[in-house]
Each structure stands twice: as structure tokens, then as C-alpha cells.
Amino acid sequence: MSSQRASTPDESVREISRAVRDGERSAESVTRAYLDRIDALDDRVGSFLTVDRDGAVEYARKLDRRREAGATLGPLAGVPVAVKDNLCTNGLRTTCASRLLESFVPPYDATVVSRLRDADAVVIGKTNLDEFAMGSSTENSGFQPTRNPWDLERVPGGSSGGSAAAVAAGFAPAALGSDTGGSIRQPAALCGVVGLKPTYGRVSRYGLVAFASSLDQVGPITYDVDDAALLFSVIAGPDPHDDTTAAPTATNGSESSPDADRSDLHGLRIGIPREYFPDSLPEDVSLPVRAAIDRLRGAGADVREVTLPHTNVAIATYYVLANSEASSNLARFDAVRYGRRIEHDSDSLAMMAKSRSAGLGPEVQRRIMLGTFALSAGYYDAYYGKALAVRDRLRADFESAFDDVDALVAPTSPLVAFPLGSKVSDPVSMYLCDILTASANLAGIPALSVPCRDAHPLPVGLQILGPRFSEERLFRIGRAHEELSAAPLPRSPIAMASAEGDAS
């Protein structure tokens, strides 16, 4: 195998899968290169909770043997993928970053994981998150914080912070995350990588440990838009195990041919939601985003201002609904069927209370209490019922905007990566991180975050939102944004160190 070209940490998913399919590189050598980088540098970043060294190498070897026997490998041939640890992996520990599930080993794969495997990807490990995906910084993990590969004193965002950091550090060319109120897009933005939250129902939630079932979606985190589109094509599609999945309608299918000029946006109407550029938006975010919008206009897009008038109540609505659903979904972790049990000599209720108090962290407990309160008799109409009504208004805001424009463009996060510890004891300030992302989940629409390559010194994400099932349009705008940015995608200091490690 010594004639093989070494695998570098800046390779795309497309390059790896092509090279493995063509036999230029073995899946095993690619997998080992990424595992070596994780071994060398992840103790600085903390992006993985479990690295499946033996399982990954064995799986890669099987792919190599199949190829040697004449099989044509799938679209993700030999591509190492990091999977957020709230997605079930058969035989591999799945903790949701909760002490309560420290030793939970699922007996099945989530649909997205089995689709990765069917496409011949190699699952290399499980990434850190805020416990049960509740947070915006990955500091709410019951095990460890994850650090931002661009600045190790800062957060990677959350809750899919481990997945975004792993890609930004060069530990995996692609990862899966989940997004309930921004958890794919915000960490992607803060780590300088691409993240997609698909249309609600586009990707199966079977085997995703539920946080808020009416909002949760699984999506890819990658270096560039083409890789995100490739991963998305593998994981998307109806699933008999999730009745909320649907196929896109024909009119909303692919609309940019691969040969078209990627930076030509003539005929496309792009809306800039006024409310997503508040006066308080710091310049380190607003300037690169505005520069990107100017470039889209220069490429022929018809750019106009639009309004989403209920944006100011999105956070309150999101936190009532998400917490209400969480309080119900997390009731299953009662230490009877699921969860580490603290033995107790009196009754079973006391056992459950003790186990949940010991196993669940403070943010999860706060949310269960808030959600239980919002759903309780006498308060249901005032909180839960009201939030459902506001959700309809938020959805209607987007519908009327999309009567006039094809897509919306805005920042992904109101802040660049913030210092570790700076918000974790102030839940409201943490919740405000979701102001530009939660509405897309409430409305069920897709949204893509793509790095602004000229942001400096910390990454900034450009968010592109569209009507339901318009993922292909978002990819088209995201590709144009990439093409129009003269600079190549900058690499995080940890990814550079990964590359040096390969050379030495």
C-alpha cells in the first residue's frame, strides 16, 4: 500500500470516495489516517465521546475486500463520518452526553446511520453534544466541554459542537448533527464549516434520541456545499420507520444543473429579513454577511428587503414548545428501562426521582421542569396553546416572504464563538444565541449555513433559508457564495496541526 497517496485532512468527501472507489486508496488507509489525527490532537479539542477504532478499521477492511472482489462501492466509499452521540449506533455506546445513558448500547442503527453504511461510509466515532442536545455551546455535556479548533479558549457552538469541531479540526471529512433550534447551523457557523438543517420530514428521525419531535431534524456538517449535498442525498428520503418523512414534490426538485455557471444568480430573488439585522448585531458578524450579500447581488440576484414580523417572539415560542416536548420525551429515561439506576430501598417513584436527579444535568432538569409546568392543568392554554398559535404566525411570516422571494439570506448566529464559561451560568443569554435559527425549525423549512471566507479572525456563517423542500435551491445559492468568495476556505489551526502531523 506504500504507493498510495496519503490522505490529508483537507480532502473532500468527493475526493475520498472517488479515490477509494477507483482503488487509488484503500478505505483502511484513509480510516487509519483520520484515526491517527484524532489520537494525536483530539485531547485538545474534545470532539469525540467514543472513537470506534477497531470497528472502523474492520469495516474499512471489509469495504476493501469487497472492492478487490469486484464490487463497485457506494457514493461514500471509505469516507470516515463522525456521528453525533444522540444517534443510535448498533453495538456502539450512545450517551446523548448524559451520565444517565453512560453505558447505553443500542441494539439497532438509526436510519441515517444505516443509510451511511449502505453508502459504504465508515462510522469512526460518536461526537460530543450538549446533554440531550440542549444548549448552544456544548458546555452542557455531562462528560466534557468541546473546544473550538479556531481558538481553544472558545466554544464550538452547540449542541452539535463535537461534530462541527471534528470537521473543522480535520478529524473527519463529514459528520452528522441534529438541529432542533439551530444545533447544526450555529456550531457550523462558529467552527467555519457547512451545516444543513433539512426540511422537517426530509430526513428520518428513527433512532435519533428525541428532544422535541416536532422540530428535530438530522443533517450533514462538511467542509463545502457539494459535500453537504452529497451526504444529504444519502440520508434523505421517506422511511417506513418515521411517518413524518415525505418525498419532495416534483416542482421542488433539483433546479440547478451541475454544468450551469455556478456563480450565476440571474432570475433568483433573495430576501434580506430586516429583523435578522438588529442594531445590536456586532460588526464582526454583520460586515462579512453584508459583503457576501453584495456579492450575490453582483452575481445577478435580485436582492430586496423583507420582513418577518414575529421574529421577536420566536425564542419564547421555541423554548415553550421545545421544553414541553422534551419533558414528555425524556420521561422514558426513568432508570427502569433506560438509564443508570440509583438503587433505593423504598418505592419505585423514589428510585426514579433519585436516578433522574443524579443522572441528568442542571440544564436538562431545568427544561423538564419548565416543560412540565407549561403543559400542566391551568397553564396549558396560557403557555403551550399560546405558543402553538404563535408558531402558526411565524410560519405565515415565512409563507408571505416566500410569495415575494425565492430564498432568504441572513447571519446564522448573532455572535462569533464566545469564550468558554462566559454564558453557561446565564441560561437566557445562552438561549438568545438561537434568535436567528429557531424560527426555521418552528416553520419546518430548510436552512443552510455556509462560512464567509473573509471573516477574520473567527468564523462567521451565512444562513440561507428557503421554502419547504427547497434544499437544491439552497445548495445552488451556497455554491454561488463559495464560488464568489475569492479566498479558499481557511483551515483552523488544529486542522493545520493535523496536516503537519501527517507530514512528519
Which lies closer to ligand GLN via its Cβ, residue 79 or residue 188?
188
**Buried b / exposed e along 251-284 (16+ C-beta atoms within 10 A):** ebeeebeeeeebbebeebebbbbebbbeeebeee
* Min dist. Cβ of residue 176 to ligand GLN (A): 13
Please list, in sequence order, all residues whose beta carbon lies within 8 angstroms of the beta carbon of residue 447, skipping any fewer than 6 positions away: 185, 196, 197, 437, 440, 463, 464, 465, 466, 474
* Backbone dihedral angles phi then psi of residue 179, each to the nearest 5 degrees: -135, 115
> Exactly one of 17, 163, 183, 449 is catalytic; which is it?
183
Stretch 100-139: interaction string toward ligand GLN, x if CB under 6 A: ---------------------------------xxxx---
Q: Is 286 annotated in the active site?
A: no
To ligand GLN, the closest distance from the beta carbon of 147 in angstroms equals: 18
Residue 467 within binding range of ligand GLN, rule CB under 6 A: no
Other residues' Cβ atoms within 10 Å of the Cβ of residue 302: 15
Tell me the pairing of strands 447-451 and 302-306.
Answer: unpaired
Please name which of 160, 45, 58, 169 lies closest in space to residue 117, comparing C-alpha atoms.
58
434 contributes a contact to ligand GLN by CB under 6 A: yes
Binding ligand GLN (rule: CB under 6 A), the pick from 17, 31, 180, 498 is: 180
Least distance from ligand GLN to the Cβ atom of residue 214, Å:
13
Closest residue to ligand GLN using C-beta atoms? 183
Can you tell me which of 162, 181, 187, 459 binds ligand GLN, judged by CB under 6 A?
181
CA distance 94 to 84: 9
Which residue stretch of 174-182, 258-266, 289-297, 465-473 sits at the interface with ligand GLN (rule: CB under 6 A)?
Answer: 174-182
Q: Does residue 497 bind ligand GLN (CB under 6 A)?
A: no
Is residue 156 a contact partner of residue 190, using CB atoms and an 8 Å limit? Answer: yes
Q: Of residues 203-222, which lie at the interface with ligand GLN (CB under 6 A)? A: 211
User: Which of the 8 DSSP states describes residue 333?
Assistant: -
Identify which of residues 34 and 206 has a Cβ nearer to ligand GLN in the complex.
206
Q: Is residue 84 annotated as part of the catalytic site, yes or no?
A: yes
For the window 154-173, what string marks contact with ligand GLN as x by the rule CB under 6 A? Answer: -----x--------------
Answer yes or no: are the C-beta atoms of 468 and 445 closer than 8 Å.
yes
For residue 373, the minimal CB distance to ligand GLN (Å) is 17
Q: Which is nearer to ligand GLN, 134 or 270 (CB)?
A: 134
| Contacting ligand GLN within 315-374 (CB under 6 A) | 322
Nearest residue to 178 via CA among 209, 142, 147 = 209
Record the cell numbers describing residue 466, joined without a space. Answer: 428557503
Determine which one of 26, 114, 159, 160 is catalytic.
Answer: 159
159 is catalytic: yes
Total interface residues for ligand GLN by CB under 6 A? 13
Q: Which residues contact 430 (CB under 8 A, 6 or more apart)?
A: 135, 136, 137, 423, 424
Work out whether 413 is an interface residue with ligand GLN (CB under 6 A): no
Query: Are 158 and 135 in contact, with CB atoms under 8 Å apart?
Result: yes
Number of H helices, E strands in the chain: 16, 11
Binding site for ligand GLN (CB under 6 A): 133-136, 159, 179-183, 211, 322, 434
What positions carry a catalytic annotation?
84, 159, 183
